[in-house]
Amino acid sequence: MPRIDFDAERVYDDDRFSAQAGFRSERVKVICGFFEPGQFIPVHAPSSDLVVDVRSGTGIVREGETDHRVEPGDVVTVPADTKRGIKADDESRLEALLVTAPPPTDEEHDPVRRGLATGEFEPMAADD
């Protein structure tokens, strides 16, 4: 049984959130997400379900048009094809286990790359 050790995987990046691979197959992707205060995964809407298990810190998980406040012990789910994003509060690091099924495609992550490059939590779609 593969074991995911948050202490061993913990890596923070001053420039953007850090995603440390925990497990991946054709059906599921599991990562340890580490966010410095104010860091985020930009809003995007891949065709995969998402589970966010907050381990430490505080922030928001966007589900469609709703921002869910999260803290340690919270678990938030977002269905496939629903806009989602994750953002640490400005005064708190955030650590979360992120599970997507199936793993998003490279193309579905274009808005994430665009938002990280421009520093936007809600990047506009390429055709907007």
pLDDT tens column, 23-40: 999 999 999 999 999 999
Q: Annotate 67-87 with b (16+ C-beta within 10 A) or e (fewer).
A: eeebeeebebebeeebbbbbb
DSSP 3-state of 8? helix
Range of the domain at 43: 6-118
Within-domain flag for 53: yes
Distance, CA of 79 to CA of 55 (rounded, Å): 21
Q: Percent of the chain, pLDDT > 90? A: 87
pLDDT tens column, 51-93: 999 999 999 999 999 999 999 999 999 999 999 999 999 999 9
Question: φ and ψ at 13, to 5 degrees?
Answer: -125, 130
CATH no. for residue 34?
2.60.120.10
Within-domain flag for 124: no
